[in-house]
Chain A
């Protein structure tokens, strides 16, 4: 196990390094956005003095490197800073408690994770099962239908799939609500019911990729001598695929699953908008619109971290699925 631990630690260190580099990229990119918050909030007729005052209050007059270091320091201590928009609002009203970025993001992030989780629980088993069956009955009608169906669902725009589902499952057959306006303190069952339509839409989007990879990586192995051996031992076709091929095909499957889970966390703005689902994607888009830089940066960093973390998990699970690495000579 010693060398597996070393590999995992190496991957972790690499992950942290990647995150650091990404944080620089995010900071520079966000600061290159045209327009600035002070200008935007005060409108065209603002005096230069007023603009400068707000800029000074928010620390926008500092050089970029200094601002980056302050921001990075805050990140490391868990302080994502204060949202410009909320800060401004709070000072104007004379209120004492400002709303931090963390307060704003956390509930949204929770909602997004919930949606991603529900989708994964539905999509991953369906995709892997379909992939195994497609490999088992390869080149039959079943295989072709499964391929065409999943391909068409991934090829249609997300909002289109969303509206089709609303039409079928909310309007014609009112099974699920078409609005997913969930809030804190909702019962889990209600939450699940409201999340179902966006989750199904996302399932249609991510299934094809995972299913095709499962099918391809199993079929890739079918010419191996150990698969022939299993057949010559008189094992049933299902057992050959599930017991003998699938365990050796896990690494690529795990990687595709991780990639799709990352997409579920970072790329679902359109679906959130269609179903009015209060996820982090909507918050992100709103913040970009009003140049609320601390929120934008924090969202970007969370997206990056999600990608890195999921890929890291996939790497580690691939390593663990390989008996050569788990049990060295």
Chain B
């Protein structure tokens, strides 16, 4: 077969942890034809990135090939010399990383990094490559294509950087590009323009691609074929439409089913009820930069208010105002109808107890040197004064509530837990204070879909048992659909729309809500094509936000 570009046969990869080598990829085969796009999906830890990099003949530090073969266009990459591989990398095989902000060198201008590949590989002169770069920027619909390259990476937004990185990958017109979760770090509206740009340019130059992601709806738009990985094993491979409509394996079916979790609707709030927390005309600023403008909404007992918006819309700042970490410059926060002091320093212990927080990154929110038991025991002791056996009993019952048996987990350190388990400890720590109100700041966005669903179900159960109120900060509308009772949509520090979930997901919407809703990728492989046809290529992403 002459049009075969990548041929991976029975590849076994191992990773080092402490002094032992553990399997990461177990005997996977992979075929890619010229100009074909293969989607690689699975949860984190499934070995997607490792396999993607192996297709470039590259292993990260601490990863090694146990056996198998990787061929690129007839070249045996695993036995090729470093010089032969260096000649292929960047020139015939390129890579687009997850975070463009971290993968562009902060010390050099974007265009200088763009021309490095073509000039070092001897494909083009500096001038040719610069001109070509600007042409690519234009094709990828970057604003000011002739000028944007002369900026430093930190001067350009995330979505634009991601497109500049795609342009950089295209610089030598490679035969193969590995896209490693290129839109995971982006907002939904920004994600669309990057997806559209990548798809268009890959088609135009007939480039083959391996598209790695954990988002099924995204991969449905991008790939001709999909390969599903689970813990280093291949689950199944099929072309996109077959895979979406008729998955054969149980695991694939369960991935497809995750998005079906939805809480039953609750009866509407009684108009006279006093809200647990009420945000009234709050303005806030970081230094002299105003961030929030006249933000008002109420949160009632036993209910979940989802605060939705893109990064920078002021969701987390509102949370900081409610907790008192950032005293508002105007307006007030009411708890059970009483005004709370603006700064946490002046709040009473009881006021502090009532408002708790669960963080996005459970990894960094837990002290790595303290055992799970002590992490939970500390707030119990602080707020209730329990000691000795009574304290231990309370911690045990909290650990029961989060479904992590105390006798097994009490003495573990955070590093000995999985991501989902860490987030459960974060929840137990918030519950330890016996609060009425908990702020959940993007608590599921760092988790895989199956694990995230488990966390959402746990939060829902706790809410029913303890009549907790949640303020649920998220940018993921699927999560909103699953758990919210009411929705607040924020944009540029203002509330643009609010109301019960049922109304929010039914038209007519505020145009921004509409944009957000219609930007969430759907499992339909024609979704992106239809959306572009409907909106027009110049009215997506940032442009659409600006056009409003």
User: Chain A interface (Cβ within 8 Å of chain B)?
Assistant: 223-226, 228-236, 239, 243-244, 247-248, 323-324, 327, 329
Q: Does B99 contact A (CB under 8 A)?
A: yes
Residues of B contacting A323 in the complex (Cβ-Cβ under 8 angstroms): 106-107, 152, 154
| Chain A residues with CB under 8 A of B95 | 229, 232-233
When C-beta atoms are compared, the residue in chain A nearest to B156 turns out to be A329
A225 touching B103, Cβ below 8 Å: yes
**B102-130 interface bits toward A, Cβ cutoff 8 Å, 1 = contact, 0 = none:** 11111110000000110011000000000
Q: Which residue of A lies closest to B107 (CB)?
A: A247
Task: How many A-B residue pairs have C-beta atoms within 8 angstroms? Tell me.
Answer: 76
Chain B: how many interface residues by the 8 Å CB criterion? 31
1/0 per position for B193-205, CB-CB distance to A under 8 A?
0000000000000
Q: Least Cβ distance of A223 to chain B in Å?
A: 8
Q: Are B103 and A234 in contact (CB under 8 A)?
A: no
Task: Report how far A228 CA is from B89 CA in the complex, Å.
Answer: 12
- Is B91 interfacial (CB-CB < 8 Å)? yes
Query: Would B154 and A234 count as touching, CB distance under 8 A?
Result: no
Say which residue of B89, B104, B154 sits within 8 Å of A232 (CB atoms).
B89
CA distance A329 to B117 in the complex (A): 27
Contacts A327-B152, A327-B155 given: A233-B107 contact, CB under 8 Å?
no
Contacts of A235 in B (CB 8 A): 86, 90, 116, 120
CB distance from B6 to the nearest CB of A (A): 16
Across the interface, A233 reaches (CB within 8 A) one of B99, B108, B116, namely B116
Q: With CB as the reference atom, state the residue of chain A lying closest to B117.
A: A233
> A229-B95, A327-B155, A329-B155 are known contacts. Are A234 and B117 too (CB-CB below 8 A)?
yes
Cα A235 to Cα B91 in complex, Å, equals 11
Cβ contact within 8 Å between A230 and B105: yes
Residue of A nearest to B109 (CB): A323
Residues of B within 8 A of A232 (CB): 56, 58, 89-90, 94-95
Most A CB atoms within 10 A — which of B56, B86, B107, B154? B107
Distance A229 CA – B61 CA, assembled complex (angstroms): 14
Bound Cα distance from A294 to B107, whole angstroms? 48
Residues of A near B168 (CB, < 8 A) are 233
Report the bound CA distance from A229 to B116 in whole Å.
12
Knowing that A231-B89, A234-B87, A236-B86 are A-B contacts, what are 20 other residue pairs whose CB atoms are under 8 Å apart, sorted by A's residue number? Answer: A223-B61, A226-B104, A226-B106, A229-B95, A229-B97, A229-B103, A229-B104, A230-B105, A231-B58, A233-B94, A233-B117, A233-B168, A234-B88, A234-B89, A234-B120, A235-B90, A239-B120, A244-B105, A323-B107, A327-B152
Question: Is B86 within 8 A of A234, CB to CB?
Answer: yes
Nearest B residue to A249 via CB reads B107
A224 contact set on B, CB distance < 8 A: 102
Q: Which residue of B has the minimal Cβ distance to A227?
A: B105
Asked whether, in the complex, the Cβ of A225 is within 8 Å of the Cβ of B99, the reply is: yes
